[in-house]
Homo-oligomer: A and B are copies of this chain.
Amino acid sequence: MMLVTRKLEFCASHRLHNPRFSDERNREIYGSCNNPNGHGHNYTLEVTVAGHPDPATGMVLELRTLKHLVQTHLIDSVDHKNLNVDVPFLQETIPTLENLAVKFWDILEPHIENGRLYEIRLYESDRNFVVYRGKNRERPD
């Protein structure tokens, strides 16, 4: 078993706000991330696939193929975008790191043909990041 990872980046703006909460409650929960006009980040996304290397090629999958899948299905939809407004699959979603990671997993997972999707790692800065390994994984490890 081998884990293969491809890292990509995108830059986007967002605002953390739950319309069902009061403005005061929103500020309390989300702090400066609740700024009404939004703010933004350079996000880093690491996609990890688990599989057995093909003895003939020495590879679990072609990293160009993985890059192309992530670029097409995720990055092209979120790069240089406002995550609250511009992204069809994020409508009705508060764009926290946690929610983004789950959405990214659900979109990408059906497209992985060699090996299986093992992990989505999403950084909004080098200080804050989340790791998600799918809803069927009871233990995060």
How many protomers of this protein does the assembly include?
6
Contact A80 B12 (CB under 8 A): no
Interface string of A85-107 (1 = CB under 8 A from B): 11000000111111101100000
Interface string of A19-35 (1 = CB under 8 A from B): 01100000001011101
Contact B5 A82 (CB under 8 A): no
A11 within 8 A of B: yes
Number of A residues, CB within 8 Å of B: 71
Contact residues in B for A63 (Cβ distance below 8 Å): 128
Shortest distance from the beta carbon of A138 to any chain B beta carbon, whole Å: 7
Given A18-B57, A98-B4: A80 and B138 interface contact (C-beta under 8 Å): no
Chain B residue with the shortest CB-CB distance to A57: B29
Given A62-B29, A96-B57, A96-B59: A80 and B39 interface contact (C-beta under 8 Å): yes
